[in-house]
Amino acid sequence: MRHILHCDMNCFYASVEMQRHPELRNKPLAVCGSQEERHGIVLTANYLAKPYGVKTGMVIWQARQRCPTLEILPPDMGEYIRFSCMAREIYEDYTDQIEPFGLDESWLDVTGSVGLFGDPMTIAREISDRIKFELGITASIGVSDNKITAKLGSDYKKPDAITRIERDNYKEIVYPLPVEDLLYVGPATSKKLRSIGIYTIGRLAESPVDVLVRRLGKMGAILHSFANGWDTSPVQRSDHIPNIKSVGNSATTPRDLTTEEDVKLMLYLLAESVCARMRELASRCTVVELYVRDTELCSIVRQRKLPAPSCSSQELTEVGMSLFQRNYRWERPIRSIGLRGAGLVEAEGTAQMSLYADEQRRDKWERIDAAVDRLRQRYGYMSIRRAIVDSDPLLGHINVKDHTIHPVSYFGG
Give the catalytic positions in this structure.
105
Q: Judge contact between 174 and 231, C-beta under 8 A.
A: no
How many Å apart are CA 247 and CA 37, to the nearest integer? 24
Distances (CA, A) of 119 to 5, 88, 94, 99, 368: 12, 20, 12, 20, 57
- Reduced to 3 states (helix: H, G, I; strand: E, B; else coil), residue 305 is strand
Q: Judge contact between 223 and 410, C-beta under 8 A.
A: no
- CA 116 to the chain's CA centroid: 34
Q: Cis peptide before 159, with omega less than 30 degrees from 0?
A: yes
**How many helices (H) and strands (E) are present in the chain, helices listed first?**
15, 13
Backbone torsions φ then ψ of 280, nearest 5 degrees: -60, -30
What DSSP designation does 258 have? -
Give the count of beta carbons closer than 10 Å to the beta carbon of residue 145: 18
CA angle 328, 329, 332 (to 5 degrees): 100
Backbone torsions φ then ψ of 105, nearest 5 degrees: -130, 145
CA angle 272, 275, 278 (to 5 degrees): 150
Amino acid present at 361: R
What DSSP designation does 168 have? T
How many Å apart are CA 18 and CA 220, to the nearest integer? 41
Distances (CA, A) of 25 to 32, 47, 156, 318, 408: 17, 10, 24, 51, 36
C-alpha R_g of the chain: 24
Q: Are strands 71-73 and 29-32 parallel, antiparallel or unpaired?
A: parallel
Residue-wise burial string across 340-366, b where 16 or more C-beta atoms lie within 10 A, e elsewhere: bbebbeebeeeeeeeeeeeeeebeebb
Dihedral over Cα of 239, 182, 31, 27: its sign: negative
